[in-house]
Chains A and B, each alone.
Chain A
Amino acid sequence: MQIIRNRVMVNSIPRFGFKYLSDSTFLNEEHLQIQKAALDFAKEKMAPYSAEWDKKHHFPKDVLRELAAMGFSTIYVKQESGGVGLDRLTASVIFEALSYGDVTTTAYLTIQNMCAYMVDQFGNEEQKKTWIPRFGTFDAFASYCLTEPNSGSDSKNMKTFAKKDGNDYVINGSKCFISGGSVSDVYLLMCKTSEKDVSCILVEKGTPGLSFGKLEDKMGWNASPTAMVLFDNVRVPQSNLLGKEGNGFKMAMSALDGGRINIASCSLGGASFAFDLAKDYLHDRKQFGQPLAAFQGLQFKFADMATNLVTSRLIVRQAAQMIDNSHPDKTLYSAMAKRYATDSCFNVANEALQLHGGYGYLSEYQIERIVRDLRVHQILEGTNEIMKVIIARNLLK
């Protein structure tokens, strides 16, 4: 019998052995306390609803507000600016634990954190005062606009342009694949302000000329709205510029390492969930008179899944710590961590689906949703191919 947080007495067959998130290498007591808080929240407030959110394409703004109340939306924003002031390792632990409950909303939460971080790092006092408290409660939802229909990996080649006009900028162009598109209150727009200069400008929803494409129908990440963001002579005051003109790329680079750790951490949580489901299934399902766990072929597959999951976690946490310590190799390790963890974790989920046989294909068993959600982590925040470019470049310089 188990007494679990929502007071349901569940008669389940307890198991010995490997407990997904018991690996506490790199973690001190405070990390473990915070991990427990995040995991408890994920199991009670996210996991039971994840399937429904996916099926109904429902964006759970209320749960995101509760996550904000827990302190999870401005994790590495400085305390003086109104954030929680913790480090990237803690953020990784939090996102890993939350994505055990739901990958998609956790991934959106990482975007909010990143936008808040950028305002904190590069914004002036006015901008920090205006936005950070609102980000910290999810009173304002934020989106990050970089990718365009014709510039993904080749982001420097973007065409969206902000032209100076009096005291304003007039912006024209389009961004695509924007998480939170049409729902978010503020858009951190990376655009050209001259032929070579990329700058970051804050554009609020409701500004005339700002419109959105239809909500994209995706393979996964269904609980999070994704749409094109269109700029047709959008006029904003020049005071909406974040940081200095032309510094956009440097700003983006400084946020990228952390963003990669974040998305890798989301993969870890989702894969852990699929892994646990697979473990139970191997014990429960019997064929040819034995539980599946007795077959060596499946044992080998499961052993590889566990090894890949644990090693992914180690490199993600190490890279997070390197960012926290401003280690000179942090970009190299962040790229390695993102590439390795997102690939491994997708494979863990995919193998978990295979271990479930026909049942793995049914949405009722939840595995296929994890596979669908994790697939995009190999693509966004920099494709894994670009990660290899970065890794090689760092090694061969």
Chain B
Amino acid sequence: MKVLVAVKRVVDSGIKVRVKPDGIDLQGVKMTINPFCEIAVEEAVRLKEKKLIAEIVAVTIGPKQGAESLRHALALGADKAIHVTTEARIDQAVQPLDVANILAKLVERDNYNLVLMGKQSIDDDFNQTGQMLAGLLDWPQATFASNIQITDGIAQVIREIDGGLQTVKFKLPGVITCDLRLNQPRFASVPNIMKAKSKPLETIPLDKLGKLHNSIQITKTEAPAIRKGGAIVENVDVLLQKLRNEAKLF
């Protein structure tokens, strides 16, 4: 069984982001693999260790620095990598529907039985790509996975939803998007980082697989409002008065 894991290179979650008129300032900013994508890679590696899948292929879309995330995936245990190259801004111009279309082309080309991805990327937080991909392929999907079991070609996934936990079952092939509590990714050891250098990395220019339509335009990017201090109130009446008049809650 072959698994495709899609990874995205995003701004590191620990840094403070600077806002410029045309979007986030990416100049010299620390970038890393999207945490949910890393969880997806880790899950694929664990499934391979359980001998439920035979081959893991990691794919990313972006400029040449995007290969860093692929090498990280290879160091964690992926077997091969595909780099779909584009110079477009991945945090703005590479949008879910276009990504889903490109991934669908790769799925048709290489015949994967399962696609694993993060539930969303921490730069645009769309939470759409996995769902759209499943729709385009007419495959079943399970999103927000916090547990994945595969037995005899049937996937059983526990999903974390607002109401609690939901268990779904479907026959592969399918798309699963991964949530925070699915696993804790391993550290890439030095021997594995070195082994990753000799694993196959295929480069494909984006226009061979699809097109970026820019159907969503970003009109404004703003920093969140600076957090104002709170106040201690003497009694419930004052609290209700503040909630009505200041916070305008009711």
Contact = CB atoms under 8 A, between A and B. Distances in A.
A30 B189 CA distance: 12
A7 B180 contact: yes
A37 B196 CA distance: 14
Interface string B36-72: 0000000000000000000000000000000010011
Nearest to B197: A30
B75 A33 contact: yes
Contacts of B181: 7
With a 10 A CB-CB cut-off, give which of B30, B190, B194 has the most chain A CB atoms.
B190
Contacts of B194: 30, 84, 86
Contact of A40 (B15, B71, B75, B187): B187
A4 B14 contact: yes
Nearest to B36: A3
Interface string B166-200: 00000000000000110010011111011001000
B20 interface: no
B16 A16 contact: yes
Contact of A84 (B180, B187, B190, B197): B190
B16 A14 contact: yes
Interface in A24-64: 29-30, 33-34, 36-37, 40-41
A70 B187 contact: yes
A34 B122 contact: no
A70 B189 CA distance: 4
B77 interface: no
A344 B17 CA distance: 32
A201 B75 CA distance: 39
Given A3-B35, A14-B16, A37 B189 contact: yes
Given A7-B180, A7-B184, A40-B187, A30 B193 contact: yes
Interface string A1-21: 011111100000011100100
Nearest to B32: A36
B223 to A, nearest CB: 11
Interface residues of A, number: 27
A72 to B, nearest CB: 7
B124 to A, nearest CB: 16
Contacts of A75: 190
B14 A37 contact: no
B68 A29 contact: yes
Contact of B18 (A2, A5, A16, A37): A16
B191 A84 contact: yes
Given A69-B189, A70-B189, A71-B189, A33 B71 contact: yes
Contacts of A30: 193-194, 197
Contacts, number: 59
A5 B33 CA distance: 12
Contacts of B180: 3, 7
A33 B188 contact: yes
A296 interface: no
B13 interface: yes
Contacts of B189: 37, 69-71
B190 A34 contact: yes
Contacts of A36: 32
A326 interface: no
A6 B185 CA distance: 10
Contacts of B71: 29, 33
A33 B122 contact: no
Nearest to A17: B16
B216 to A, nearest CB: 25
Contacts of A34: 190, 193
A36 B71 CA distance: 13
Contacts of A287: none
A27 B149 CA distance: 41
Nearest to B185: A5
A22 interface: yes
Nearest to B35: A3
Given A3-B35, A14-B15, A29-B68, A70 B30 contact: no
A37 B187 contact: yes
A33 B72 contact: yes
Interface in B14-33: 14-16, 18, 30, 32
Nearest to B122: A3
A72 B190 contact: yes
A23 to B, nearest CB: 12
Contacts of A71: 189-191
A37 B192 CA distance: 11
Interface of A: 2-7, 14-16, 19, 22, 29-30, 33-34, 36-37, 40-41, 69-72, 75, 84, 86, 94
Given A14-B15, A37-B75, 8 more contacts: A2-B13, A2-B14, A19-B15, A29-B68, A33-B71, A33-B193, A69-B189, A70-B190
* Closest CB pairs A-B (n = 7): A71-B190, A14-B16, A70-B189, A3-B13, A37-B188, A71-B191, A71-B189
Interface of B: 13-16, 18, 30, 32, 35, 68, 71-72, 75, 122, 180-181, 184, 187-191, 193-194, 197
21 contacts: A3-B13, A3-B35, A3-B180, A4-B13, A4-B14, A6-B184, A7-B180, A14-B14, A16-B16, A29-B68, A29-B71, A30-B194, A33-B75, A37-B187, A37-B188, A70-B187, A72-B190, A84-B190, A84-B191, A86-B194, A94-B190
